[in-house]
Structure 1
């Protein structure tokens, strides 16, 4: 057989770039541990926890894969967030699984397609925390009635990886 060479597609290059960006975030993340979810390896560095989230959500760069797994559009484009695709709300903090977020967040691209930028965890439990951070309270003037925590694992965020808003995400 004669070996053949293939030219990587744009999608392959994008996925490799996303994986390398994720690795850079994991390597550059603080070495201090941040409250890991019980049953998920105990206390581990935040970068390692977020790398696991990236690994288990990488297939959702394809919105069709997300909808096939039960994520449904649940919001218009929210400024500094994007479009939310939700498949549930955890009843309690014990029901949260960092590798199975309740919500995926997509930003619009100029060509009209969607780019996975974050995952979001949602629960009715006011005492919930993941990655060493307490969940944000429900919004008093609109927005979801449950407690949430964003993790910007696919889009850099100068406000912080666990901040609810990302100035790098636009609905324009």
Structure 2
């Protein structure tokens, strides 16, 4: 629509919206991470090799998780890191994208089940966790209500650094591709 067909009184609003939209996409598409996430990324570089992740206690969930709105990938879970307080330098899960015959590390995730006794909604890096929500069947039982937070520190995410899914991550067609519906959010009476 040409600007001449937009009433003059709306021009400032349109301009502000356009600037905000462009700024958000420039920040989201940037490879530059905040310093604390750069430090985390450097500490996790060794997990570019998933065999090293397995040796350090991360176990593959096998399936490549995808939603209609985007993909997560293949999750490697370290059960020893599950607890009510997230450690910013020790994510509970590593998330890989199948690329050819290899797995490429794309993101990390912190998962906190409500059963751990977590009270207020957890937060890391100034970002509140998503949830609480049901478990992601078939990988996690629906009854495993939890909070989680993804950080796409190894592959930029056009939807945002902490978004649940990444439209640029792909799962190959095959027996281990799990098309899921978004988990349902559940009440948490201890959350503030």
Under a length normalisation based on structure 2, what TM-score does the superposition of the two structures give? 0.61
2:117 equivalent to 1:127: no
Structure 2 Cα separation of the partners of residues 92 and 128 of structure 1: 8
Change (3 A) 1:90 1:142: closer
Per residue, is there more strand in 1 or in 2? 2
User: Unpaired runs of 5+ in structure 2?
Assistant: 1-29, 173-192
Q: 2:105 matched to which residue of 1?
A: 116
Under a length normalisation based on structure 1, what TM-score does the superposition of the two structures give? 0.68
Structure 1 Cα separation of the partners of residues 89 and 169 of structure 2: 23
Cα-Cα RMSD? 1.9
Structure 2 Cα separation of the partners of residues 132 and 153 of structure 1: 15
User: Unpaired runs of 5+ in structure 1?
Assistant: 1-22, 27-46
Structure 2 Cα separation of the partners of residues 118 and 25 of structure 1: 15
Structure 2 Cα separation of the partners of residues 142 and 117 of structure 1: 19
Structure 2 Cα separation of the partners of residues 157 and 147 of structure 1: 20
Ranked by relative contact order (alpha carbons within 8 Å, sequence separation 6 or more), the top structure is: 2
1:58 to 27, 42, 45: 45
2:60 to 68, 73, 77: 73
Q: Which one is further off, 135-144 or 157-166?
A: 135-144
Structure 1 Cα separation of the partners of residues 59 and 136 of structure 2: 20
1:106 to 86, 96, 101: 96
Runs of 4+ that moved beyond 6 A: none
Secondary structure, counterpart of 2:95 in structure 1: strand
Contact 2:31/2:156 (<8 A) preserved: no
When Rg is computed on C-alpha atoms for both structures, the one with the higher figure is 2
